[in-house]
């Protein structure tokens, strides 16, 4: 088993052992290709996919595969298969298996939000807890303002998004000083 697949299998078994519900992206190896080769209509749910970790422990898990079409750089339509392993109760996605991909996508939205929060953090070398807390609260307030302004003014965030460093500083300087500083 290649290294990535082994780590993925170990991770999935660990999660199952802890009884934690999870969605994990499927590595599209030979076994994956064999299982989806006969599928005529997507999305599809495969029950009983077996994974084995490096200690030879085996677990059965569900594999949900959906397809999406996207335009490549040459302007041609291409198909991409997206597979996810999950131990979520099947009743949550039986009627709409593509919801697994949506749920996994939301996870990345949350992680991206945390990365964006870090861009707003005010750097401090102060050892005072009060000062550090004040900076933390101020950075979260500015971050929330940024999210609010994006929701308020950007109907299609894919086309236009308020950039942190430029637009927020310009807006705040306009509000505070009545003119743009940059």
Asked if 118 and 139 touch (Cβ cutoff 8 Å), the reply is: no
pLDDT along the chain (182 residues), means of 10: 55 58 85 88 86 77 87 87 88 86 77 73 85 87 80 62 62 64 48
Strand residues in the chain grouped as ranges (E): 23-25, 44-52, 58-71, 77-86
Angstrom distance (rounded) from CA 4 to CA 8: 6
CA 25 to mean position of chain CA atoms: 11
Whether the link from the prior residue into 15 is cis, omega within 30° of 0, is no
Report the pLDDT value the prediction gives residue 164, as an integer from 0 to 100.
Answer: 58
* Two structure tokens written together for 58: 């085996």
Cα-to-chain-centroid distance, residue 98: 15
């Amino acid at each position: 088993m290649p290294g990535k697949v082994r780590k993925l299998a170990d991770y999935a078994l660990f999660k199952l052992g802890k009884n934690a519900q999870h969605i994990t992206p499927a590595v599209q190896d030979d076994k994956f290709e064999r299982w989806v080769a006969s599928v005529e209509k997507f999305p599809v749910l495969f029950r009983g996919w077996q994974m084995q970790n490096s200690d030879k422990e085996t677990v059965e898990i569900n594999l949900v595969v959906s397809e999406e079409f996207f335009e490549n750089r040459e302007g041609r339509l291409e198909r991409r298969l997206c597979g996810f392993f999950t131990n979520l109760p099947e009743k949550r996605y039986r009627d709409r298996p593509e919801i697994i991909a949506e749920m996994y996508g939301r996870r990345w939205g949350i992680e991206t939000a945390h990365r964006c929060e870090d861009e707003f953090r005010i750097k401090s070398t102060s050892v005072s807890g009060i000062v550090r807390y004040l900076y933390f609260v101020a950075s979260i307030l500015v971050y929330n303002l940024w999210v609010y302004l994006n929701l308020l003014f950007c109907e299609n965030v894919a086309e236009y998004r308020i950039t942190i460093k430029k637009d927020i500083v310009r807006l705040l300087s306009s509000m505070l000083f009545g003119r743009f500083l940059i």
